[in-house]
């Protein structure tokens, strides 16, 4: 596609339920990032995938959060047993990183998650 | 840990003014620096990427500069328009993107 696509755009879920958020990066981009943005807060790093390397999971806030990237393309962020504090906009970005060279990153429109 | 600060937090200017947004970062060992804008309820739109070997980048009415040694970047917006109203974010790029908390810009017609 022309840009980074995220789905769903909005998700309302009950506390305790599991949710899956999807990110389709720009075709050919090797790097994929997940961030979240809580109301009135800055962007919080969650996880980074680069090619076939082990992902950098250092930003995941708890073991309820996990992410995978299949075939070096689509990524899914899973939140288990959702809590109200998980409510935020989850943003995905991709870039054509080449080794140590970081290139321009493009963000999707985000998934607004509301836990009630 | 990289800390990124943006000043001012909010800015309101009349249409037509030139303005400067500031971004500072504590660790100069970055790959690149990227400026974004974010409209309410939307994702981030890339404005400019400055690679660590560059000192500035220009796109239309926007000019961004980078001084790695002093840990500073500025975004200059010429002849501001109401459509420029948004939150502007800078990101210092290392192993991840380290974002500032943004400058909320309002351009008054």
- Token pair of B45, please? 């739109």
pLDDT at B53 over 90: no
CB–CB of A105 and B96 under 8 A? no
Interchain contact, B46 vs A104, CB within 8 Å: yes
Task: Work out the minimum CA distance from B28 to partner chain A, whole angstroms.
Answer: 15
Provide the pLDDT for residue A7: 97
Give me the pLDDT at residue B60, please.
96
Contacts of A106 in chain B (CB under 8 A): 46
Q: Is B91 helix (H, G, I), strand (E, B) or coil?
A: strand
Considering only alpha carbons, which residue of chain B is nearest residue A10? B41
Confidence (pLDDT) at A99: 61
C-alpha–C-alpha distance, residues A94 and A34, integer Å: 9
pLDDT at A101: 65
pLDDT one digit per residue (tens) for chain A, 116 residues: 579 999 999 999 999 999 999 999 999 899 999 999 998 778 999 999 988 889 999 999 999 999 999 887 999 999 999 999 999 999 999 998 766 567 889 999 999 999 99
* Mean pLDDT estimate for chain B: 94
- Can you give the pLDDT at residue A71? 81
Cβ neighbours, 10 Å, residue B10:
10
Residue A39 is predicted with a pLDDT of 82
Contact B89, A41 (CB under 8 A): no
pLDDT at B52: 85
- Residues of A near B (CB-CB distance < 8 A)? 6, 33, 35, 41-43, 45, 48, 56, 59, 91, 93, 100-110, 112
* DSSP strands (E only) in B26-108: 32-38, 44-51, 56-59, 62-67, 72-77, 86-93, 97-99, 103-108
pLDDT of residue A1: 52
SS3 A62: coil
Look at residue B61 and tell me whether its pLDDT is greater than 60: yes
Of residues B58 and B51, the one with the higher pLDDT is B58
- Of B79, B97, B107, the C-alpha closest to B36 is B97
Q: Is the pLDDT of residue B74 over 90?
A: yes
Cβ B68 vs Cβ B26: under 8 Å? no
Q: What local confidence, expressed as pLDDT, does residue A6 receive?
A: 97
- Per-residue model confidence (pLDDT) at position A42: 84
Read off the DSSP letter of residue A44.
E
Closest A-chain CA to B4: A42
Q: State residue B59's pLDDT score.
A: 95
**B53 in contact with A, Cβ within 8 Å:** no
pLDDT digits (tens, 9 = 90+) for B80-94: 999 999 999 999 998
B50 has a chain A CB within 8 A of its CB: no
B97 and A106 within 8 Å at the Cβ level: the answer is no
The verdict on B33 touching A (C-beta cutoff 8 Å) is no
Average of per-residue pLDDT across B71-85: 97
Q: Do A48 and B31 touch (CB under 8 A)?
A: no
The pLDDT, as a whole number, for residue A115 is 97
């Amino acid at each position: 596609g022309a840009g980074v696509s995220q789905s769903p755009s909005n998700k309302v879920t009950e506390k305790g339920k599991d949710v899956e958020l999807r990110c389709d990066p720009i075709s050919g981009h090797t790097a994929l990032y997940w961030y979240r943005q809580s109301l009135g807060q800055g962007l919080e790093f969650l996880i980074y995938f680069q090619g076939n390397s082990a992902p950098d999971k250092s930003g995941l806030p708890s073991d309820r959060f996990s992410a995978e990237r299949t075939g070096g393309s689509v990524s899914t962020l899973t939140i288990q047993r959702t809590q109200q504090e998980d409510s935020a906009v989850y943003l995905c970005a991709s870039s054509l990183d080449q080794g140590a060279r970081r290139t321009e990153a493009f963000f999707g429109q985000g998934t607004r998650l509301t836990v009630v | 840990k990289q800390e990124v600060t943006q000043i001012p937090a909010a800015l309101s200017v009349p249409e037509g003014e030139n303005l400067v947004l500031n971004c500072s970062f504590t660790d100069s060992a970055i790959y690149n620096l990227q400026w974004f804008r974010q409209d309410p309820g939307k994702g981030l739109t890339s404005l400019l990427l400055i690679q660590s070997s560059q000192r500035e980048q220009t796109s239309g009415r926007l000019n961004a500069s980078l001084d790695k040694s002093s840990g500073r970047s500025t975004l200059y917006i010429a002849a501001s328009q109401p459509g420029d109203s948004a939150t502007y974010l800078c990101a210092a790029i290392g192993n991840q993107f380290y974002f500032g908390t943004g400058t909320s810009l309002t351009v008054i017609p």
